[in-house]
Chains A and B, each alone.
Chain A
Amino acid sequence: MSARTPLLGLVLAGGGSERMKRDKATLLYEGKSQLDRAVELLARHVDRVFVSVRASQIGDAARARYPLIVDSVAGRGPIVGIRSAFAAHPGNAWLVVACDLPFLSDRALSQLLAERDPASSATAYISVHDELPEPLCAIWEPKAAAQIDALLAAGKDCPRKFLMNHAARLLEPQDLRALDNVNTPEEYVRASAGPTTTHAMQLKIQYFALMREQSGRSEETVETLASTPADLYAELKARYGFTLPREQLKVAVNSEFAPWSRPLAAGDAVVFIPPVAGG
């Protein structure tokens, strides 16, 4: 394996915050802005941290405290922020995080660093929600720069598709909640309420058929931090080694079919439904 290229930190703070209707970088969690938290977190893992901004944000007070990297073109999303970082400091790799990940943890960054593959274009997590790659908490290697140029030249700018189509090392996160982002005022209220409302809650799980056999039980009460059935399945899949990927299941909450993203409340009864075979 080749010697590791030096790694710099990049906090993406150039987003439009359209759904939040206010600047996500300045949202406070435990009295500290998301941007400050993200910079401090990164600084514990890399030597230098930069903040990615749009040209119109250069004078913004919250951002101007940090070394900035300005997007080379406007309106093409976070991939341009990453590309601009490669252009500003060629030859370095980048530990990139979005500034709207209030649950991002040292544990999540440590796992990325420990399992980094410098020979690939990037090292990233698989989302626990949809099992697709998460580009905005990832290590981007220098070879990705030219690949991003090709992507942009082809009129595309989705970083997620980039990771799906290029040689990326993809990891299952140990910290299941680290990459939950916060996009709406409602999500902010919930997330910023902190540990008092995000503490573990009890859910009742019933298991049928293959799920019953693989978990070794018909029902149980679990204490969990999972806030949706998707999170809960990821947690229990890791615990019991369920063989079925979530895409092949449905889920019921309180005896009715429910979307995987439905917020769970204490006391909810959850049933994972493997492919059915009546008749």
Chain B
Amino acid sequence: MRFRFTDLRIDTAAARGELLDPGAGGYASFEGWVRDFNEGREVTRLEYEAFQELALKEGERILAEAAARFPIKHALCIHRVGRLSLSDMAVWVGVSSTHRGEAFDACRFIIDEVKHRVPIWKKEHYRNGDSGWVNCERCAAAPEHRHDRATAHDHDAA
């Protein structure tokens, strides 16, 4: 079970080779690609940054969970860091297993968990020259809700 980062193009042929197993009758993989559009904005490129020490531990935990949950042979996840262009591969997940069903299921499980749990951050650069950290910039508005609520009760301005 292996989770790792690379700042080079992901070599999917080599990665697939690591999953070969005489007992495996199926293999499924997922590739995440850099898309030109997100949440209504035109994206021109991306940067990924990771807190690698913890990210590697959490990534390994996810792979171990996948192995505990699905009867698979091998699983591997490789995530890019650094600058990426449109259509570059940002993440690759591969799973080999005795039968196809668990390979698909485990692959889906791994990518979903990685997106939510592993300390990796994505900065999008937009056509208009703006940029922003995904999930961080907009939710920063949330504290305003809280303070709005407090100041709505605050009679000082009256």
Q: Which residues of A contact B (CB under 8 A)?
A: 117, 119-120, 126, 131, 166-170, 206, 208-210, 212-213, 243-245, 247-248, 252, 255-257, 271, 273-279
Contact = CB atoms under 8 A, between A and B. Distances in A.
10 smallest beta-carbon distances between A and B, as pairs: A209-B121, A278-B120, A275-B135, A277-B134, A243-B140, A119-B155, A279-B115, A277-B122, A245-B143, A255-B53
B71 to A, nearest CB: 25
B153 A256 contact: no
A208 B136 contact: no
Given A274-B133, A274-B136, A275-B135, A208 B155 contact: no
A208 B134 contact: no
Nearest to B114: A278
B91 interface: yes
A277 B32 CA distance: 12
22 contacts: A117-B154, A117-B156, A119-B155, A119-B156, A169-B154, A170-B154, A208-B119, A209-B121, A210-B133, A213-B133, A245-B146, A247-B142, A252-B54, A255-B54, A256-B54, A271-B51, A273-B119, A274-B121, A277-B120, A277-B136, A278-B91, A278-B122
B57 A255 contact: yes
Interface residues of B, number: 39
Contact of A167 (B90, B120, B134, B155): B155
A206 B135 contact: no
B68 interface: no
Nearest to B149: A164
Contacts of A276: 115-121, 135
B51 A273 contact: yes
A126 B153 CA distance: 14
A169 B115 contact: no
Contacts of B136: 209-210, 244, 274-275, 277
Contacts of A275: 135-136, 139
Contacts of B119: 208, 252, 271, 273, 276
B154 A208 contact: no
Contacts of A247: 142
Interface in B101-158: 111, 114-123, 133-137, 139-140, 142-143, 146, 150, 153-156, 158
A90 to B, nearest CB: 22
